[in-house]
């Protein structure tokens, strides 16, 4: 064996160029025998995705005093409440969930803060007075 034959064998083993001759269409890189003649639809539009975790703590929905503190906590609590909904009632629950969300959005648009009660029981040393100047200097 001379040096050229040894180098050729080393290249063949290192770069595995002998597999190509034994490959079939379904194993060649970038091609699939089923889709090789069909063009991909253009433009490709992604489907909406939902974030998911492997494990999350279940909220204590059985506790009467538990109240979700964010919309994410509310979603987790609703998942716990409705995960075993009978399949015959899924459509009803889903339609009512949409209705309830719409009502909550409408209610949030008309949210008003009650006027705070003013505590005048403690007199102030320097009472705050309304400005009488036409253009008060703003700080």
What pLDDT does residue 82 have? 93
Round to whole Å and give the CA distance between 16 and 29: 14
Residue 80: phi, psi to the nearest 5? -60, -40
What pLDDT does residue 100 have? 94
- Most confident residue range from 15-29, 50-64, 94-108: 94-108
Residue 54: phi, psi to the nearest 5? -70, -40
What pLDDT does residue 126 have? 77
Of the chain, the percentage scoring pLDDT greater than 70 comes to 71
Q: Which helix (H) or strand (E) holds 81?
A: helix 71-82
Burial of 2-19, coded b for 16+ CB within 10 Å and e otherwise, reads eeeeeeeeeeeeeeeeee
Q: Which pLDDT band holds residue 96 (cuts at 50, 70, 90)?
A: very high
**Mean pLDDT computed over 62-84:** 91
What pLDDT does residue 50 have? 74
**Mean pLDDT computed over 101-114:** 84
Q: Would you say residue 65 has pLDDT above 80?
A: yes
| Structure-model confidence comparison of residues 112 and 136, the more confident one | 112
Q: Would you say residue 37 has pLDDT above 80?
A: no
- Quote the distance between the C-alpha of residue 80 and its chain's center: 18
What pLDDT does residue 55 have? 79
Dihedral sign, Cα of residue 93, residue 99, residue 100, residue 102: positive
Round to whole Å and give the CA distance between 58 and 55: 9
């Amino acid at each position: 064996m001379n040096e050229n034959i040894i180098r050729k064998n080393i290249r063949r083993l290192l770069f595995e160029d002998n597999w190509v001759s034994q490959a079939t269409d379904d194993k060649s890189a970038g091609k699939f025998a089923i889709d090789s003649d069909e063009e991909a639809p253009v433009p490709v539009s992604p489907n909406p995705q939902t974030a998911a975790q492997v494990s999350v703590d279940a909220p204590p929905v059985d506790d009467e005093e538990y109240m979700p503190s964010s919309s994410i906590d509310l979603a987790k609590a609703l998942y716990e409440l409705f995960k075993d909904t009978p399949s015959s009632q899924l459509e009803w629950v889903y339609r009512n969930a949409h209705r309830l969300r719409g009502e909550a959005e409408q209610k949030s648009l008309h949210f008003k803060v009650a006027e705070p009660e003013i505590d005048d029981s403690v007199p102030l040393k320097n009472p705050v007075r309304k400005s009488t100047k036409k253009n008060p200097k703003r700080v």
